Structure 1
Amino acid sequence: MGLVIRSAEKLGYHRDGALLGLSPFQTEERRRLWWQLQHVDLALAVRSGLTPLTLMADWDTKMPLNIEDDDISASTTEFPKERKGLTSLSYCLYTYWVIDQQRLFFHSEKSRFELSWQSNKSLPLPLKESLINQLEDGLNQNFLQYCDPLKPPDVLLQLSARALICGMRMRSLHPLAYNGLQGHTSEGHRDALLTACMQSLDYNVAMHSQPSIRHPVMCVLVEAAQQDDASKTQRIWDLLSDLYSTNSTLSQLADDRRKFHAAELVVAAWKARQNNPNLDQHLSKPEFVTHLETQFPECRTGLAQNSSAKVVQDGSAGQRVEPVTPDSFLAEQDVDAVFDLDFQDIEWAFWSSID
């Protein structure tokens, strides 16, 4: 991807075509290509835990116009007027717009833009809230108000945008809720974080997909084990049940160790709740918890066999055999006790680094 970006820069795609005296058609074509490269580069950077260097560089290519393909052609001599409302390009434009707004904001604040700005403890909360509110208002005004609930692409755009803003608020609240930073009390922020996490899971349930649910699932599980409000407890476990029923692949534990570890934590949260005499015990055991439990013996056996096979294979090659990292992080006896932990005890690196 770095080679592609460098090649695009050598061809001048980082300069806006209008400044170079190119035709409207060529300019629009270059804008669409450059911004899509930025989007793909950013997506790959997120997987690597990095911020693309080009994101804050001094390039001036403007965003593509909100038009349909038929509105412009090679013979067009003037830029067409942008359409009001959504077009076939709007789903792409929404992602470009979010990137552009963050670039402009951090340029104006003379700050360094990095993908982790929401959880960056050195940035004051009012600054984060200012940008998040600005993004939410802009998304509502430019995109979401035009969404038609009968059109699947519009629904996907709306859910994606809402989940994006919700995720930003969630990550900005995390340090305050569990570390008591910046002179704030953590209890109110903890409630706000739980609300944001549950809302994030609601959006993911609605989209029938599992990406980006790691952080909210972990937060909700901690509260599921400790929550003393009966109605909120019921809501949490109903939400987790919906998550597993609408995302059937989450129950296929053998094909991804994140799913197996998440399932272990779900069962641990339930057992911790049932073993706590200070909490309401009238909640019926969810069926999905029982279903996950029944898969554990087979999954642990399979993981053990895979680990043994790796040792034999590495040893037969005459290479030094490294200790095998277990794919299951909980021994069977640990499941009952694991939820003595609080939110800050979760190993976030596990969920952030594995792909």
Structure 2
Amino acid sequence: MSAEEPSPTQIYNTSSKPPKVFSCVLCAQRKQPCSNCIKSGVSCTPGAPPKPRSRRRRVIETDVAARLQRYEELLQRHGIKLEELDDPSTSKSPQVATANIGGVSPSHGSGITGKDGLPLYAPHTNLWSTLSDEILDASSDDERDLSIRIANQSLDSEPSTPPHVELELFDLDSPRPDLSSLHPEPLQIFRLWQAFLDNVHPLSKIIHAPSIQQQISFASGSPQNFSKPMQALMFSIYTCSIASMRDEECMEILGEDRKLAHRRFAGIAKKALTVAGLLTTHDTTVLQAFVLFLLSIRNIYDPQALWILTGIAVRLAERLGLNHEPFLESLSVFDAEYGRRIVWQIAILDGHTAGIARVDTSRTIYRGNTKFPLNVNDADLDVNMRERPQEHTGATEMIFCLIRCEFGSQLHNQAAIEGNSMLRLLGDPSTPVADKEIFISKLEKVFEERFVKHCDPAIPLQLLSMVMVKVMFGRLRLAARHPRRFPDRGATMSQEEKDSLFAICLMMTEYDNQGHRLSGMHRFMWHVRANFQLDAFVYILNDLRHNTVGDRADHAWREILECFEHHNDVLTDTKNPLHVAIGNLALKSWAARESMLARLGQTLSNEEVPRPISILRSQRSIVVNKENYSNFSDQRAAGELAQNQDFQVTGSISFDSMDSTPIDWEYWNDLINASGVMMDDTQYQQPTYDVKATNCWK
């Protein structure tokens, strides 16, 4: 040891205040005292101190002050006076502020367009600036004395979203934590697994349940025995199960609020996917886990980010060769079958997320050559099987998934024949509705013959499949006839066309209510709610503004009010601009109905006002002046009476003369799309798989 470099012992003896000293490199390696350096005659070099441990940043007073100042600026920007918030007299009201939501002209960004002028990506616009005068302007003739106060509890102009999934999944350099201690208790694991089998597996079918159950039985008591891919799959299964449960079920199984439990397990699933090496994996188990994870967050996550994340699943499937049928045929029967199931589920999910992200979905038509999955049950498949199992002729556990695959394939094949997207053809106002109906009816007969006639409505999955076929073709007919397809927003539609469109929308609403009523269907409500047709719901409400009484109106209101009860978020979520706008439209339609009933001598008492209407009014502090609607002409009143079979009115009344300004469907189109709600039939368009991957299957 040189004289210039004193040993740690010398430093310790000569210093009045001993500093922190670290052993030399050699001693640190050998874990021996420093005196060995002297004996060995080697230079004693003190080792570098280790990196300081990252500590949690404390929230100091200046941070709180800065945040408070920012929130005050946001409140002022939205026209909310801070003095009113401090006023004790207003603290009892559920409303936060009076929001001026009418009279603002729409503002649309240019975005990026394709060669045909359709947007490849629709930029975000301020939703509040696009609200329609027709629906929400408080100074309109229909609601001149209607004072609406919106409880806008959002402090920022951007919608709130869950934590950024994509940032964690792309963090390849972070440490890989041990997640085995984060699994639920063994009994909870089995109950979550059973919930997955009942609620999610029948609608996805991308895993072989018997094989997975064997692994769960083997390792549930010792979660550390799960492999990293299997651990990622398990946490995705937990997350899917929780997302599909009712609140009381989650509380019973986990003793935790469902939303909190879902957020917690989704966060752990993200970590598990990262630990399993999602972006570099060649393991199909990791891809299965990722697809299930995307299914579990599709109802709560930002549509734009979800579409990008689904693109990762597309690329992973391509890298594994799942979109290349010759490669799948080189695999075992079992691996090839589940490869097809995975790629078709990704195709459906990619089309769905493209639609809600407002991407031109005609550019995501499936162009791979992957065959359909087999019409077999899980019990017909085995990991070691050498020959393809015999397909069933009737309905199997795959009925729901096969219907969705067939629907997307039929539209794709028809598009290839016509040289254009069939969905664009259905939405083309220059194509006669009769021609559209011919195509839809022919395709519907194919599904009736191939699937529906084999279904037993006593079996919940098969009943759901039957309903889905009806709703799918209802969506096609809605797409073919919807007023927003026409330049005049449907002003020149004949009464027959309007009645036909109303019947289609009412049928879709009735099926939604029927699904909620049947006890066996509750396990699939997570999927039904994700595909609720608000487009049809809005059309019915708008029609009821003008056709206020009569048998048809009575029936429609029964279905609408029941639908509000089933979709409680539409009724109570005042942070969502779309839900607020629907509530406003419902109040206008109900006020018109009350006014007409009053003219007929049937004034409703407060007790007779339906619960959803009472809730909407209390949210908005509405004071309804029924004389508001006295500007209805006697001719309109007579027309309303003519619809009601209980009254006899002489004279011919033209419905066209009663129609007021058409609803602004461009506004509703933008508002529904921006809220991430699927419309028409875009869910069943398929993605583009152009790359021919040749990597081997592991």
Same fold at TM > 0.5 = yes
The 3 A distance-change label for structure 1 pair 175 and 260 is closer
Separation in 2, partners of 1:112, 1:151:
35
Separation in 2, partners of 1:283, 1:237:
17
Aligned positions of 1:24-173 closer than 5 A: 24-50=333-359, 51=361, 53-57=363-367, 59-112=368-421, 117-121=425-429, 123-173=431-481
Secondary structure of the corresponding residue to residue 400 of structure 2: helix
Asked whether the equivalents of residues 8 and 34 of structure 1 are also in contact (C-alpha less than 8 Å), the reply is: yes
Residue number among 671, 677, 681 corresponding to 1:350 in the alignment? 671
Aligned positions of 1:1-355 closer than 5 A: 1-17=310-326, 20-50=329-359, 51=361, 53-57=363-367, 59-112=368-421, 117-121=425-429, 123-175=431-483, 186-208=494-516, 210=529, 211-227=531-547, 230-275=550-595, 282=602, 284=604, 286-288=609-611, 289-297=613-621, 341-344=661-664, 347-348=667-668, 349-355=670-676
Q: Offset at 1:78?
A: 3.0
Separation in 1, partners of 2:665, 2:347:
35
Q: Offset at 1:190?
A: 0.7
Let me know the Cα RMSD of the aligned residues. 3.4
Separation in 1, partners of 2:417, 2:534:
32
Asked whether the equivalents of residues 28 and 65 of structure 1 are also in contact (C-alpha less than 8 Å), the reply is: yes
Separation in 2, partners of 1:352, 1:120:
19
Separation in 2, partners of 1:189, 1:176:
14
The 3 A distance-change label for structure 1 pair 221 and 206 is same
Asked whether the equivalents of residues 149 and 155 of structure 1 are also in contact (C-alpha less than 8 Å), the reply is: yes
Secondary structure of the corresponding residue to residue 513 of structure 2: helix
The 3 A distance-change label for structure 1 pair 177 and 189 is farther
The 3 A distance-change label for structure 1 pair 27 and 276 is same
Asked whether the equivalents of residues 148 and 154 of structure 1 are also in contact (C-alpha less than 8 Å), the reply is: yes
Asked whether the equivalents of residues 273 and 279 of structure 1 are also in contact (C-alpha less than 8 Å), the reply is: no
TM-score by length of 2: 0.41
- Structure 1 residues not aligned, in runs of 5+: 301-330
Separation in 2, partners of 1:135, 1:282:
47
Q: Offset at 1:160?
A: 2.1
Asked whether the equivalents of residues 17 and 26 of structure 1 are also in contact (C-alpha less than 8 Å), the reply is: no
Asked whether the equivalents of residues 244 and 251 of structure 1 are also in contact (C-alpha less than 8 Å), the reply is: yes
Separation in 2, partners of 1:130, 1:217:
25
Separation in 2, partners of 1:241, 1:3:
41
The 3 A distance-change label for structure 1 pair 231 and 142 is same
Higher helix content, 1 or 2: 1
Q: Render the CA deviation track for 1:115-158: whole Å, top value 9, x for unaligned.
A: x5532335554553244223322222222222222222222222
Q: Offset at 1:19?
A: 7.7
Q: Offset at 1:226?
A: 0.8
Asked whether the equivalents of residues 55 and 103 of structure 1 are also in contact (C-alpha less than 8 Å), the reply is: yes
The 3 A distance-change label for structure 1 pair 21 and 124 is farther
Q: Render the CA deviation track for 1:232-261: whole Å, top value 9, x for unaligned.
A: 121122221221233333322335332222
Q: Render the CA deviation track for 1:301-338: whole Å, top value 9, x for unaligned.
A: xxxxxxxxxxxxxxxxxxxxxxxxxxxxxx999xx68x
| 257-266 or 71-80, which deviates more | 71-80
Q: Which amino acid aligns with 1:354?
A: S
The 3 A distance-change label for structure 1 pair 271 and 181 is closer
Alignment-derived partner of residue 8 in structure 2:
none
Separation in 1, partners of 2:581, 2:512:
19
Separation in 2, partners of 1:135, 1:7:
33
Separation in 2, partners of 1:271, 1:195:
23
Q: Render the CA deviation track for 1:20-51: whole Å, top value 9, x for unaligned.
A: 54443332122111111101111111211221
Q: Which amino acid aligns with 2:426?
A: Q
The 3 A distance-change label for structure 1 pair 54 and 350 is closer
The 3 A distance-change label for structure 1 pair 228 and 294 is closer
TM-score by length of 1: 0.77
Separation in 2, partners of 1:85, 1:45:
33
The 3 A distance-change label for structure 1 pair 345 and 174 is closer
The 3 A distance-change label for structure 1 pair 136 and 279 is farther
The 3 A distance-change label for structure 1 pair 241 and 4 is closer
Q: Render the CA deviation track for 1:158-177: whole Å, top value 9, x for unaligned.
A: 22221121121112112499
Separation in 2, partners of 1:185, 1:252:
34
Secondary structure of the corresponding residue to residue 325 of structure 2: coil
Separation in 1, partners of 2:363, 2:665:
32
Separation in 1, partners of 2:391, 2:442:
22
Q: Which amino acid aligns with 1:101?
A: Q
Of the two, which has the highest radius of gyration?
A: 2
Q: Which amino acid aligns with 2:402?
A: L
- Matched residue count: 317
Asked whether the equivalents of residues 14 and 34 of structure 1 are also in contact (C-alpha less than 8 Å), the reply is: yes
